[in-house]
Structure 1
Amino acid sequence: MTDINSIGLQKTSAEQLAEKLNELLANYQIFYMNVRGYHWNVKGQDFFQLHEKFEEFYDDLLTKVDEVAERILTLGYTPVHAYSDYVKLSRISEDKNVSDGAACVQGVVKGFQTIIELQREMLTLSEDAGDEGTADQAGQYIREQEKTIWMLNAYLGR
Structure 2
Amino acid sequence: MEHESLFSLSNPEFWVLVALVIFFGLLVVLKVLPGALFGALDGYAAKIKAELDEAQQLREEAQALLADVKAQREETERQAAGMLEAAKADAQRLAVEAKEKLEEQIKRRAEMAERKIAQAEAQAAADVKAAAVDLAAQAAEAVLAARLAGAASDPLADAAISQLGAKLQ
Range class of TM-score, shorter chain: under 0.3
Output the TM-score relative to the length of structure 2: 0.26
- Of Structure 1 and Structure 2, the greater helix share is in 2
Output the TM-score relative to the length of structure 1: 0.27
**Greater C-alpha radius of gyration:** 2
